[in-house]
């Protein structure tokens, strides 16, 4: 199996562990292609010549699996890079909450050993495709497409239709169209529900709406969501996973739908989404004095 290595080079922990990672691959005699961004970073770690350094866009083509070391943003950037190639990505957490990068970097050796033996599973995650009127190239997102007021302090108005039927005219700071994967990201912060990643739905979540009756709405994954945004500012912003960003004039129409390809995330065999929620959100932990509850006696 050929591995590729992509990392957030701003993470101090990555540079501390990089010699161990390189030594592990050398000892295992396993091919490793290194993103040139790592080689170009101003750090003192020597990269062995046995590991080719290649441009980042080529990694998805040359590798059977990509190691993305950093936080969830690193995974999102990697998925954006891979696109329709659907190369499996293994997220390794170098700090932060990490819903997508659930393997701690400190434990990479044990997990990689099992994965190299074929002891893993692939989770196919729904992707979004976003077509913007007047923009030739569509945007793709694993987490969400956000429509945002941008630098303006004034709210924007977003008319939303689902399969041609008017849902609402949101007066808000913005709007999120999220996948189940993105339900634990920006959507969660905006009051959206947590959705099990295998669920075949999309989430429409207003950001700070000017009506308490405007709540998140869940629609089927095959729905076509159309928006028309009005702003009093020079432009508003549409972005995919915080990576691909467009500044757009008022009355620009946007259509969001399920993409015709998936993101393939590599998971250890013992991985569980519910276990992940317990670990990341501290569910099941009561920090109050439990001795006062009668059922503990």
Q: In which residue are the tokens 């990509």 written?
A: 66
Catalytic residues: 72
| Torsion angles phi and psi, residue 60, rounded to 5 | -60, -30
Helix axis angle, 108-116 to 12-28, nearest 10°? 40
Q: What is the pLDDT of residues 152-171, one digit of tens each?
A: 889 999 999 999 999 999 99
Secondary structure (3-state) at 36? helix
* CA–CA dist 60, 86 (Å, integer): 8
* CA–CA dist 62, 60 (Å, integer): 6
pLDDT score at 286: 66
Structural domains of the chain sorted by starting position, each given as residue range(s) with its CATH number in brackets: 3-118 (3.40.50.10330), 127-260 (2.60.200.30)
* CA–CA dist 191, 175 (Å, integer): 12
**Do residues 75 and 68 make contact, with C-beta atoms less than 8 angstroms apart?**
yes
pLDDT score at 46: 78
pLDDT score at 116: 87
Residue ranges of the chain whose pLDDT lies below 50: none
**Do residues 120 and 267 make contact, with C-beta atoms less than 8 angstroms apart?**
yes
**Do residues 203 and 177 make contact, with C-beta atoms less than 8 angstroms apart?**
yes
Global confidence as pTM: 0.89
pLDDT score at 281: 79
pLDDT score at 271: 83
Beta strands in 87-184, from DSSP E residues, in sequence order: 89-93, 103-104, 120-132, 139-141, 144-148, 156-162, 165-172, 174-178
DSSP one-letter code for 19: H
pLDDT score at 180: 97
> What is the sign of the dihedral through the CA atoms of 191, 195, 197 and 202?
negative
Angle at 34 between CA 31 and CA 40, to 5 degrees: 155
Q: What is the pLDDT of residues 1-60, one digit of tens each?
A: 899 999 999 999 999 999 999 999 999 999 999 999 998 886 667 788 899 999 998 998
């Amino acid at each position: 199996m050929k591995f590729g290595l992509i990392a957030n080079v701003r993470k101090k922990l990555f540079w501390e562990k990089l010699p161990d990672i390189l030594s592990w691959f050398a000892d295992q005699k396993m091919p490793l292609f290194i993103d040139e961004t790592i080689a170009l970073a101003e750090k003192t770690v020597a990269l062995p010549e046995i590991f080719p350094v290649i441009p980042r866009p080529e990694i998805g083509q040359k590798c059977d699996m990509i190691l993305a070391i950093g936080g969830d943003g690193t995974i999102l950037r990697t998925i954006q890079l891979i696109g329709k190639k659907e190369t499996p990505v293994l997220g390794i957490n170098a700090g932060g909450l990490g819903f997508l990068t659930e393997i701690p970097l400190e434990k990479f050796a044990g997990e990689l050993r099992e994965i190299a033996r074929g002891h893993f599973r692939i989770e196919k995650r729904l992707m979004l495709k976003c077509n913007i009127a007047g923009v030739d190239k569509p945007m793709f997102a694993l987490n969400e497409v956000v429509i945002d007021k941008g630098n303006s302090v004034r709210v924007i108005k977003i008319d939303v239709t689902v399969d041609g039927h008017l849902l609402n005219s949101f007066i808000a700071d913005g709007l999120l169209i999220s996948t189940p994967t993105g339900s634990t990201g920006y959507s969660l912060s905006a009051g959206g529900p947590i959705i099990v990643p295998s669920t075949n739905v999309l989430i429409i979540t207003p950001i700070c709406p000017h009506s308490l009756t405007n709540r998140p709405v869940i629609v089927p994954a095959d729905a076509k969501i159309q928006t028309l945004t009005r702003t009093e500012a020079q432009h508003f912003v549409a972005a995919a996973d915080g990576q691909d960003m467009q500044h757009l004039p008022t009355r620009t129409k946007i259509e969001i739908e399920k993409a015709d390809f998936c993101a393939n995330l590599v998971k250890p065999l013992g991985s569980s989404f519910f276990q992940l929620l317990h670990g990341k959100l501290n569910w099941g932990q009561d920090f109050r004095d439990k001795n006062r509850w009668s059922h503990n006696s």
